[in-house]
Amino acid sequence: MYHTYRRGFSLIELAVVLGILALVAALLLPALGMARESARRVACLNNMKQLGIALNNYIAIDGHAPMGASPHVLLLPHLEQMQVYNSINLVWPRRGGLKNSDAETITGWLRRNNTADGIIISAYVCPSNMGDKAARLSYPGNAGDGFKQPDSQGVFGGGRTGAATTLASVTDGLGNTVAFAEWVAGEGRPDPLKHVYSPTVTLNREEFVSKCVNLDPATVAAWSLFGKGTTWTEFSYARGCYNHLQSINRLSCSNGGNMLTAAITAGSRHGDGAHVLFLDGRATFAKASTSPPVWHALGSVAGGESARLD
């Protein structure tokens, strides 16, 4: 009687098979990660388009851009979030009111709206930020290209007490003026894209920008204050608004810890740039390589510049 024996894999053959599988995995995993990030990027852009529709609806009804409180609060009814909107105590009146420097008022605002602020509004958070539990806002409003808030020439440069931006006042053109941009939101370990850093104090705008540009986040002098976008109910630098003082994906800096003078930048983890929303409702991806003069011009409503994002 003859017996047949099945020959098994040798150790060498098994090692070859495992090596091939590892190689295939090494090739597929980055591609899978890129596909997922591509999907998140598309969803992020769609959120911004939704925000643009809400903004245009608000302007059509009120005749001007949101002012007097966080625009993200005032846009809630146009994002089918009326219940959340009704739960918010609007401390600051929509025209005139309390000063930005009133720290007790800001503290009171946060305390009274702590519950609402804990609600995650999906339209306000880019999927690329979803991994950070502290992220509440990925799309800050444009406070302008200036050094100080609230006199920064942006769509929301008037802050809580300044004049509202009407379409007629946007003499640079609706398609040449950014209303909202994207930033990397959250807390955690210091991150050059996510956190606000603090160089030594200076009263000169050009000197401050130079210090921020040349700041090394790894040095002790570049200590991190906090992350951007950890609230959507407050409207101040790094909380609800950014400016065009620094280019996309550059460091965000406060002036020696003073958040009324700061360079708060747009940015993203999508690659070399970030999404922006213009006042005409157009949402697009702005490259980090956009020249500083063009980026500055896109931040003002009536700067007299003729600049357009390619």
C-alpha to C-alpha distance for 235 and 142, rounded to whole angstroms: 11
Is residue 198 in some structural domain? yes
Is residue 304 in some structural domain? no
pLDDT on residue 49: 96
Say yes or no to pLDDT of 4 above 80: no
Is residue 1 in some structural domain? no
Q: Which domain holds residue 292?
A: 11-298
pLDDT on residue 27: 67
* Cis ω before 140 (30° cut-off from 0): no
Is residue 2 in some structural domain? no
The pLDDT of 187-208, averaged and rounded, is 82
List pLDDT tens digits, range 39-79. 888 999 999 999 999 999 999 999 999 987 789 999 999 99
Given a contact cutoff of 8 angstroms between Cβ atoms, the answer to whether 238 and 228 are in contact is yes
Return the C-alpha torsion angle 247, 191, 50, 115, nearest 10. Answer: -130
Given a contact cutoff of 8 angstroms between Cβ atoms, the answer to whether 152 and 146 are in contact is yes
pTM over the 0.85 mark:
no
Our count of domains for the chain comes to 1
Is residue 168 in some structural domain? yes
- Round the average pLDDT of the chain to a whole number and report it: 81
List pLDDT tens digits, range 199-248. 777 778 888 888 888 888 877 666 777 889 988 988 888 888 999 999 99
Range with the lowest mean pLDDT among 36-40, 78-82, 249-253?
36-40
Strand order in the sheet with 273-278: 241-242, 141-142, 178-181, 273-278, 283-287
